[in-house]
């Protein structure tokens, strides 16, 4: 029996025989052409065919994993349309007379190498997208068929050095019980998709992958990130029991649809969802979300080549409000800047963009764009229960200026005879230590708080959450310094009679649920897939008893 430790990417237990999938991209050999014009035509034709394939994959992915995780293919389409990528290939063809295949490979590798060296985990993951789209274009140029898994016989545990998004989304769950990869991380596309699809997965085995044998019996423990090759009888029996327990747990969760999110002593908690796209309303409703606690409106900008017009924004906000009917939808005004840069909104380089011109700071510097968004929001307010929240607040003046612009827009709309629902609830994100510390003053200006624990933690701990070199303990929302600021904001909200929620990743962290509720948090906003599990946990908490789960004294 051999035990290998990797990264737990997707929960669950699988027992099956290993099946190796050879999906390595064969390197293209250097070759030149005496007709750059022909190579340019070949490249453009192959690029367009690859875009069509990605569009088909996106349609397939929406059906299998929903719109949120299908965005991966939209990202790849955007990369394939990126001017730097296209010009990089064309320059190599024109200047070096490379054949299209080699120019595509070289450009993809160069850009992927640049991105992989950035201190930003999200952007690092885009390097695999660049290699994926380059390989897709090369296969189009060579007339190769897409690699598939149709030769699998029976149920197997798939093994590969890495799985591309296009390969992961096409996995047949009746055949693939789990997968194991040498590369990857918990935030890689394959890991994200595996969680959505419910396929147990362990990634990041690195050189240990070479010790696995094709056809060997293995146990894949997606909870602990462990692969056990040639398990003995006792280990098999243990994991068969874990497998059945997890299946029963999933069945119990499904029975909680329609149930109240209420503690044993009667405290009602509102469980809402964080979303990026109006199309994700379906996921919110399927998972019994009680509202939308955070709609990231800046996603409308990131998927376009120009700033979205008032009408484009209005239609998006209307769609999400109508979809949620009478359930509250909290729409965050655009949180741009930092790692969310726009090619059509050139911003000066900043040494520390996470602490620079972002969120409400950027909105107030570009009031025309900001008022355009506020107009769209107020116009859409008649189609549902809208609440507006301002991000990255640090001062009272920022809140008052944002409100002044909102009132100005409201007056304009009234003069134009346009309908709107007023008053709309207004809130602020508590993401900076400053906002938490002056939350007693902020509470007099707004109707609610939403605590963004992801940013709050990095600012309190002076630890960039996207920097892989930073010890993960420095980005732990359980740290007493973070929890003390959460408590301050929650208590000041309660004292003023306004509600206070949490919308960061820690909202779904069951280590903190009881702590948050005891502080006075009344709403938790999480990913749709986390709703039922969090509801089950809340229904087991008794706030009238002695605290059980407060991780640190605060």
User: How many other CB atoms are there within 10 angstroms of residue 480's CB atom?
Assistant: 12
According to the annotation, is 465 in a ligand binding site? yes
Q: Is 189 a catalytic residue?
A: yes
| Segment holding 410, helix H or strand E | helix 396-415
Helix then strand count (H, E) for the chain reads 19, 16
According to the annotation, is 119 in a ligand binding site? no
Report d(CA 433, CA 429) in Å as an integer. 11
According to the annotation, is 496 in a ligand binding site? no
Q: What is the DSSP letter of 294?
A: E
User: How many other CB atoms are there within 10 angstroms of residue 249's CB atom?
Assistant: 12
9, 195 Cβ separation under 8 angstroms: yes
Of 272, 273, 301, 503, the catalytic one is: 503
| Segment holding 302, helix H or strand E | helix 299-302
551, 511 Cβ separation under 8 angstroms: yes
According to the annotation, is 81 in a ligand binding site? no
According to the annotation, is 296 in a ligand binding site? yes
Of 19, 58, 189, 479, the catalytic one is: 189
224, 26 Cβ separation under 8 angstroms: no
303-309 contacts at long range (C-beta below 8 A, 24 or more positions apart): 303/74, 303/78, 305/343, 305/344, 306/344, 307/342, 307/344, 307/345, 307/369, 309/372
Rounded to the nearest 5 degrees, what angle is found at the Cα of 294, between the Cα atoms of 293 and 296?
A: 165
Report d(CA 100, CA 43) in Å as an integer. 6
According to the annotation, is 352 in a ligand binding site? no
Contacts of 95 (CB under 8 A, 6+ apart): none
Binding residue numbers for Mg(2+): 431, 455
List the catalytic residues: 189, 503
Q: Which residues are annotated as a binding site for phosphoenolpyruvate?
A: 296, 332, 454-455, 465
For the annotated binding site, the residues are 296, 332, 431, 454-455, 465
């Amino acid at each position: 029996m051999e035990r290998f430790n990797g990264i737990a990417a997707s929960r669950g237990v699988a027992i099956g025989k290993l099946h190796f999938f050879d999906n390595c991209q064969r390197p293209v050999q250097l070759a030149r052409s005496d007709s750059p014009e022909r190579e340019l035509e070949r490249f453009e034709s192959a690029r367009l065919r690859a875009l069509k394939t990605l569009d088909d994959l996106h349609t397939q992915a929406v059906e299998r994993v929903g719109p949120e995780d299908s965005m991966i293919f939209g990202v790849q389409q955007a990369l394939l349309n990126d001017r730097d990528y296209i010009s990089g290939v064309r320059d190599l063809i024109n200047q070096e007379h490379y054949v299209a295949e080699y120019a595509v490979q070289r450009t993809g590798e160069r850009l992927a190498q640049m991105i992989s060296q950035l201190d930003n985990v999200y952007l690092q993951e885009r390097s695999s997208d660049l290699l994926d789209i380059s390989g897709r274009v090369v296969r189009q140029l060579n007339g190769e068929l897409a690699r598939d898994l149709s030769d699998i016989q029976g149920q197997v545990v798939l093994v590969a050095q890495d799985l591309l998004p296009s390969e992961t989304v096409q996995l047949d769950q009746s055949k693939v019980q789990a997968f194991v990869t040498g590369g990857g991380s918990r935030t890689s596309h394959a890991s994200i998709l595996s969680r959505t699809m419910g396929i147990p997965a362990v990634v990041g085995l690195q050189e240990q992958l070479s010790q696995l044998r094709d056809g060997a019996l293995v146990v894949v423990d997606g909870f602990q990130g462990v692969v056990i090759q040639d398990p003995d009888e006792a280990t098999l029996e243990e994991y068969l029991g874990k497998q059945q327990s997890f299946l029963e747990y999933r069945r119990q969760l499904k029975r909680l649809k329609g149930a109240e999110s209420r503690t044993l002593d009667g405290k009602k908690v509102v469980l809402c969802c964080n979303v990026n796209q109006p199309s994700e309303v379906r996921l919110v409703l399927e998972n019994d979300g009680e509202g939308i606690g955070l709609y990231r409106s800046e996603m409308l900008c990131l998927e376009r080549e120009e700033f979205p017009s008032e009408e484009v924004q209005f239609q998006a906000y209307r769609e999400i409000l109508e979809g949620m009917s009478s359930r509250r939808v909290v729409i965050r005004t655009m949180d741009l800047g930092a790692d969310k840069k726009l090619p059509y909104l050139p911003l000066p380089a900043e040494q520390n963009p996470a602490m620079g011109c972002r969120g409400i700071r950027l909105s107030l510097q570009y009031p025309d764009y900001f008022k355009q968004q506020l107009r769209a929001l107020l116009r859409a307010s008649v189609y549902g229960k809208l609440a507006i929240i301002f991000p990255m607040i640090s001062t009272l003046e920022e809140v008052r200026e944002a409100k002044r612009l909102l009132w100005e827009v409201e007056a304009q709309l009234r003069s134009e005879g346009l309908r709107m629902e007023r008053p709309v609830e207004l809130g602020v994100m508590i993401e900076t230590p400053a906002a938490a510390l002056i939350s007693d003053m902020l509470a007099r200006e707004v109707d609610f708080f939403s605590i963004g624990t992801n940013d709050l933690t990095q600012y309190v701990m002076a630890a960039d959450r996207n920097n892989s070199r930073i010890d993960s303990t420095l980005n732990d929302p359980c740290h007493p310094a973070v929890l003390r600021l959460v408590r301050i904001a929650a208590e000041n909200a309660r004292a003023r009679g306004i509600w206070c929620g949490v919308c960061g990743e820690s909202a779904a962290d069951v280590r903190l649920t009881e702590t948050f509720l005891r502080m006075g948090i009344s709403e938790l906003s999480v990913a749709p897939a986390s709703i039922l599990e969090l509801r089950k946990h809340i229904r087991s908490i008794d706030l009238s008893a002695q605290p059980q789960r407060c991780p640190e004294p605060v």
